[in-house]
């Protein structure tokens, strides 16, 4: 598996709306999300994606955020520039 692929996955999820939308459409099914991640050419484990998420945003998803995402609520993660991205929902579907 690859940390570089986990980083590349997060980058694509941020920059490619269609890719993120495709992942979000199956976020209730972790195996379906992982299948889409792997089909897109990213060879990363859920742990590698969680680690990359933590390193990239300087935060971990809290149990409350994971519960909110599981309930279908959107949770945005802060980026260094002060903007919001909805990669947290995609990452939470995997981890």
Instruction: Please write the tens of the pLDDT for every residue from 21-48.
Output: 888 888 778 888 888 889 999 998 888 8
pLDDT class of 83 with cuts at 50, 70, 90 = very low
Q: Which residue has the higher pLDDT, 83 or 5?
A: 5
**Structural domain span for residue 31:** 3-94
C-alpha span between 73 and 1 (Å, rounded) = 30
Q: Which residues of 70-93 are buried (b: 16+ CB within 10 A; e: fewer)?
A: eeeeebebeeeeeeebbbbbbbbb
What mean pLDDT is predicted for residues 52-80? 63
* Structural domain count, the chain: 1
């Amino acid at each position: 598996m690859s940390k570089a692929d986990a980083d590349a996955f997060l980058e694509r999820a941020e920059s490619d709306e269609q890719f993120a939308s495709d992942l979000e459409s199956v976020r209730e099914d972790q195996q379906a999300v992982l299948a889409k991640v792997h089909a897109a050419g990213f060879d990363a484990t859920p742990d590698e994606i969680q680690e990359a998420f933590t390193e990239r945003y300087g935060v971990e998803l809290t149990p409350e955020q994971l519960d909110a995402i599981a309930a279908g609520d959107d949770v945005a993660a802060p980026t260094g520039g002060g903007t919001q991205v909805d990669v947290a929902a995609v990452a939470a579907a995997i981890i």
